Amino acid sequence: MTLPTSANPPHRGHSPRGKEDNSHLPTILCLHGAGTNGTVFRLQSRRIIQALQHAFRFVFVDAPFEALPGPGVIPTFEQLRPYFRWHCDENAVGEFNIDLADVAREREQVRSLLTAHLTRENGVEKEEEELQEEEAAAQRSGGGHSDGHNRGPGVVGVMAFSQGTRVATGLCLDPELGRDIHFAILIAGTFPALHLSSTAASCSAAIGSEVIANATDGVLRGDSSLATGDRPDATKLVYGRTLRDGSSESDSSSVSSFVPDEPTTSSSTPLSSVTPALCAPRQINIPSVHIQGTFDPWAPESARLLDEYYNDQLAVTIQFRGAHQVPTSPKDGSMIAKEVLAAWERSNGLTHRDYSGGGKRGCH
């Protein structure tokens, strides 16, 4: 089988349209699963967006490589082609028609794509002359300042689903790109992280590459033992509690979002050059919200992602009645919104009122 390698232009991204200007709100960067796209993820996460639309601006990114549709995508999203995937890792070599050079190129393309989005959303590329023009236009219209104080603080968080959670984890681990990420929302996470640099990827390969390969192979082959084997329990308490919504409304018309990951974890740095000091473990010390379906066969992967990368004292797990999908009931959306706002406040001491201007409207 050959993985498609055509790249999507790095400028593509989607933000929900609305009547109100939300450019002053902090931004959450959203990364979809394999075999879907940003538009599909926006529809899948509509309840979360509705519950937080007065507190955050959501920007959905299309991954750069075209892919076949993931399971469950057709026929619901048949009209929303093309579909995309994130980068492959070294485990794809041998399984698909791809080599280490391809892996390195793909990882670099994903890094460039995310860098472009972060740069644009954070306003880094604006020249002083452009800012002065916006300032003058805003004052003429009585709209106040149009600089960073009015357009918001840029990207402050990341929300991801399935394969996207691996990229989001790599983003949080990146010392350059992850420095402005204050919290993470991880829906139906999978393991391991998809790093954005060759050194970090080589560390992942050097530390337990056999375990990673076996786990990935098992998932790809539908090995049901992975859901019940010797893995960390997906329902364990983190951040003092696991939130369970046993009575959650099951949305029979929910948008299907079952998309297993393609093999990924890249490396272009020879393993022999990776030293223990270079590969010292790095924990992600930001608040994180982990959202997990009670019937998700990849639940152990989600638990392992949390255990191996995130500070469990800053994490909370929300369980909802569902499988490998984004929760779609209003009740689940409200519960998630409450925890996301708490994570945002906890991350930097600010309250969402500083940017929403409307209190807790998004929580109800």
Nearest to 173 by CA among 252, 114, 245: 114
At 298 the three-state DSSP class reads: coil
**Bond before 297 cis per omega within 30 degrees:** no
Q: Which amino acid makes up residue 329?
A: S
Other C-beta atoms closer than 10 Å to the C-beta of 5 total 15
Integer Cα distance of 66 and 85 in angstroms:
6
Within 8 A by CB and 6+ apart from 321, the residues are 245, 246, 248, 250, 293, 294, 295
Q: What is the pLDDT of residue 14?
A: 61
Structural domains of the chain sorted by starting position, each given as residue range(s) with its CATH number in brackets: 13-359 (3.40.50.1820)
Tally: H helices and E strands in the chain: 11, 10
Q: What is the pLDDT of residue 262?
A: 40
Q: What is the pLDDT of residue 317?
A: 98
Q: What is the pLDDT of residue 242?
A: 59
Q: What is the pLDDT of residue 66?
A: 96
Q: Could you list the pLDDT tens digit for every one of the 364 residues in the chain?
A: 434 434 444 445 665 554 568 889 999 999 999 999 999 999 999 999 999 999 999 999 999 999 999 878 999 999 999 999 999 877 777 777 888 999 999 999 999 999 999 999 998 644 555 555 655 554 443 433 333 333 788 999 999 999 999 999 999 999 999 998 999 999 999 999 999 987 666 665 554 444 343 333 333 333 322 232 333 333 333 343 456 554 333 333 333 333 344 433 333 344 444 444 445 556 899 999 999 999 999 999 999 999 999 999 999 999 999 999 999 999 999 999 999 999 999 997 644 444 343 332 222 2
Instruction: Report which secondary-structure segment, H or E, holds 202.
Output: helix 198-206
Among all residues, which ones are annotated catalytic?
A: 162, 296, 324
Integer Cα distance of 55 and 256 in angstroms:
26
